[in-house]
Each structure stands twice: as structure tokens, then as C-alpha cells.
Amino acid sequence: MVEGDTDELLLIERLRQLFKDKEIRFEPQHGDIFYQRENKEQAIKEVIGDRVKEILMKRKFKPSNILAVLHILDTDGCFIAPEHIKVNAKQTVLTQYNVDCITVNSEEQKGRIEERNTIRSRNVYAMVSTNHIAQYDYQAYYFSRHLEHVVFNEMNPCKEDKVEKIENFLEKLEMPIEHFLAQYMPVEQNDNYSTMHTESWEFIMENINSLKQHTNASLMFRFLDSYSRHA
């Protein structure tokens, strides 16, 4: 499960190359499942569990077909404290992401971002500490602030050319994508997947780190490699 189409574009060919005996399926959500107003009264684990069941029904998958559910999300600065959301009345856009704060164009928008961050961070935290969803093994990973930030160091990318930029990037990339992403792991790399996964999430939840250029998505390759060999 991913937020947009560029996540699949960035990762799918390498995953298929490495795990030829598995069928990797991406399910872009085209929205923020961690902060959708119609779901605010429902526990996030139930929301995502229901979405997984919908996907299985749509794809006509049987429970025995599923190795694991992997979820890649954007942090969007959701873990920062309210004092790092600042009003700039001269700003022409509603919300602007910066290296040390989020700027908004009004007090009203500041309130909306604070509410979003409160709900979203709570829901993400709940899923990070979850290992199973709808009877399947589950793991969550992140791009911070989002994929384009990690790959291109762009905090506020143009939406129109996202796909083209990823295609050009992959064409010129001279290393496996998991090695490229590993450069942005925020914690020391070692052989203990579980420790790295936990510590990388702890790091991104601290202070203003969810605005910084980091990802733990390279761990997904390690999880699949280990899990598929023992499954």
C-alpha cells in the first residue's frame, strides 16, 4: 500500500527483479488514509484492515496468496510540535514545507494543519507498533517528507512532472534503488532488521525530524528477502 503512483514506479521493477517467484502488487491510495475525515471515528487499524480486505476482494486473492502487507507512507512533517507551524500572511500557497517548520497563510490553516498532525501522528504511531493487519503480517515504512524529498531533495515538488522525473532518475541511476535509499537511513545500519526498523521510526518521530530528508524504505527489501526465504 502506497500513497501515490510514483512509489510504485520507483520500486516495482527492482522488486520484481529480486523476487521473481513472488507477485508484487502496489495499491496506490491516492490520498491520506491516516487523515481522512470520514474515518476519524474509526480506529486506524480497522480502517486499514477494511482497505486490505477490499483490495483482496477486488483482486480475487485468497488469504493463502498473501505473504505480507507492506505500507509505505509520507511523514508530511506530522510529528512536529505546534510551535513549528508558523503563519506567513504574505505566503501565496496554503501550506509550505521548510527545513525547520511548516508555514501557512492564515491562522485558520494553522489550525487545520495542527489538527491533521495530531490525528495523523497518532494513527501512524498505532500502525508502526502493529505487526499484523486483517490476519496478515504487516510492516510500515516511510519517505520523509515524501518520496520526491528523499530522491530529489524537493520539499514542495511540482505535481505535474513527478512521473517524468522519476523515470529520468531511474534511467540514470547507477546503483540498485535499495542501495540509493539506504543512504538516507537515519540510524546506523547493522544486521538486526527489527532494531533498525524500530530506531528509524523513533528517530523520525522526534523533534522536527519528520521534515528532514530520510527514509527507511530500504528495509523493505531486507524484510522481503528474509521473509520470503523462510515463508
pLDDT tens for each residue of 169-212: 999 999 999 999 999 999 998 989 999 999 999 999 999 999 99
Instruction: Please report which confidence band the pLDDT of residue 138 belongs to, taking 50, 70 and 90 as the band edges.
Output: very high
Q: Among 23-37, 61-75, 111-125, 200-214, name the one with the lowest average pLDDT.
A: 23-37
Contact call for residues 211 and 98 (beta carbons, < 8 A):
yes
Tell me the whole-structure pTM to 2 decimals.
0.94
Instruction: Please report which confidence band the pLDDT of residue 39 belongs to, taking 50, 70 and 90 as the band edges.
Output: low
Alpha helices for the chain (secondary structure H): 5-18, 44-59, 107-128, 147-152, 162-172, 177-182, 193-204, 218-230
Rounded Cα distance, 140 and 69, in Å: 9
Residue 178, pLDDT score: 97
Q: What are phi and psi of 87, to 5 degrees?
A: -90, 130
Neighbouring residues of 196: CB distance < 8 A, sequence distance ≥ 6? 185, 187, 189, 190, 216, 219
Residue 38, pLDDT score: 57
Secondary structure of 24-70 in HEC code, one letter for each residue: CCCCECCCCCCCCHHHCCCCHHHHHHHHHHHHHHHHCCCHHHCCCEE
Read off the pLDDT of each residue in 77-104 and give the average, rounded to a whole number. Answer: 97
Read off the pLDDT of each residue in 117-136 and give the average, rounded to a whole number. Answer: 94
Residue 63, pLDDT score: 87
